[in-house]
Amino acid sequence: MPMRSAIDTLQEHISLMIRLLAASLALILTTLTAQAFETKAGSAFVIDQTTGTVLLAKNADTPLPPASMSKLMTLYMAFEAVSTGRLELDQELLVSADASRYGGSTMFLQEGERVSVEELLRGIIVLSGNDACVVIAEALSGTEARFARDMTMRAQQLGMTNSTFMNSNGWPKPGHRMSMRDLGLLANRLITDFPQFYPMFAEREFLFDPNESSNRFNRNPLLALNIGADGLKTGHTQEAGYGLVGSAKQGDRRVIFVISGLDSTAARARESEAIVNWAFRQFSQKTLGTAGTRLADAPVSMGAAPSVGLELAQDLTALMPISANTTLEGEIIYAGPFRAPVAKGDPLAELVIARDDLPELRVPLVASETVAAGGFLVKVSAAARHLIARLNAGPQGAS
């Protein structure tokens, strides 16, 4: 190979294909196939929270009427307020005329009465209280309309780019929209940001007023099934159909899912249970490699050594389909050669692993050891090689 061609090849972006063999790399990677889930929901989003792997996305980024599932944003705002001291759990808030006039699912709040923040939170979570949402909204923003604008702004800050709120509770109103992916993101934030409040979502019953006992049960159909379900919120309007933002934990894994557009409570219950069973039975979390496993060597220029090892920066775990077929191939991507000095632990490359029906997995690789800058002879040698390459290339434009 001519000298110029070799040097140019090294200086270009290098994509190195390697077969990851268990014997030599201590990795067990298999191409796996999971049984696809054909949801009856009009829109859906399912994510393995433990690994961040999206398992299913159907119309997931389409802004749709979220019905009462949008109450999760009101709860997020309320939890933030309690956490920062703007509200206290035992603080009693005044019920306004506007709050008491709401119909649908309510706590049957009466104008002029005072209700504690903790009772209002449980009333929103368990009873889906439209009136309770308004009481929280007015306490935090003065009016429900202003609170809806605050909700929208906070949602954007959290990365929910397909969410616009017109009220605090999801009561049908033009322009009140959320995507299923946004609802999944919101559920994840509720679980991770407020672990002290999240157990409220698993409560199956809350009797606020013994005289108004008809609305005291949680509508989440999964809570009684002993499948690890512990949240989050149902929703229904004529326009939106029946929906659910749900989560379940089995062992070390947690799954979050959002569905919308079902035609009945029974269909919502069946679809929710089927999604949870599919997510846990068709996929498992596997350890594919341990931190420090050396996968390849990359060239180094002007260094005391001609190459540096590339190793896993941390243990490599991934969500994989259960059934195994053939060996996976991983692609290590880096731009080289790397100019010395290179320090041990420097991020140098990525290992990209393709998974059937799942997003590709991208894993950082770091330098296995330190490579110091070369001495005088190394620099002279490099300069000589560069000169030879230019001489071999000939004059610019020569045919």
Express each pLDDT in 288-321 by its tens digit. Answer: 889 999 999 999 998 999 999 999 999 988 888 8
Q: Can you give the pLDDT at residue 390?
A: 66
Beta bridge partners of 358: 355
Q: Which of 28, 30, 22, 55 is nearest to 324 (CA)?
A: 30
Strands (E), 290-397: 294-301, 307-312, 316-321, 323-327, 329-335, 338-339, 347-355, 358-367
Give, in degrees to the nearest 5, the angle at Cα 193 between 132 and 184.
75
Highest CATH level, class, for 3-32+287-393? mainly beta
Mean pLDDT of all residues in the chain?
87
* Residue carrying structure tokens 């290590």: 332
**58-237, CATH topology level:** Beta-lactamase (3.40.710)
pLDDT for 12 beyond 50: no
Express each pLDDT in 377-389 by its tens digit. Answer: 545 555 555 556 5
Express each pLDDT in 136-147 by its tens digit. Answer: 999 999 999 999
Express each pLDDT in 32-84 by its tens digit. Answer: 445 678 999 999 999 999 999 999 999 999 999 999 999 999 999 999 999 99
Calculated CA dihedral for residues 113, 116, 119, 120, nearest 10 degrees: 70
3-state SS class at 81: helix
Gap between the Cα atoms of 39 and 272, Å rounded: 10
3-state SS class at 184: helix
pTM for the full predicted model: 0.80
CA 2 to chain centre: 49
Phi, psi (rounded to 5 degrees) for 21: -100, 135
Q: Where are the domains of the chain?
A: 3-32+287-393, 58-237
What is the helix (H) or strand (E) element at residue 5, kind and residue range? helix 3-11
pLDDT for 11 beyond 50: no
* Residue carrying structure tokens 């490599």: 316
What is the helix (H) or strand (E) element at residue 93, kind and residue range? strand 92-94
Gap between the Cα atoms of 201 and 183, Å rounded: 15
What is the helix (H) or strand (E) element at residue 25, kind and residue range? helix 22-25
Residue type present at position 155 = A
Q: How confident is the model at residue 6 (pLDDT cuts 50, 70, 90)?
A: very low
Highest averaged pLDDT of the listed ranges 19-33, 258-272, 317-331: 258-272
Burial, 81: exposed, middle or buried (Cβ in 10 Å; 0-12, 13-18, 19+)? middle
* Residue carrying structure tokens 């320090």: 343
Q: Can you give the pLDDT at residue 288?
A: 84
Residue 375 in tokens = 């001495």
Gap between the Cα atoms of 264 and 110, Å rounded: 31
Residue 279 in tokens = 């997510």
Alpha helix segments (H runs only) across 159-289: 180-193, 265-281
CB count in 10 Å sphere of residue 38: 7
Strand 338-339 relative to strand 294-301, pairing: parallel
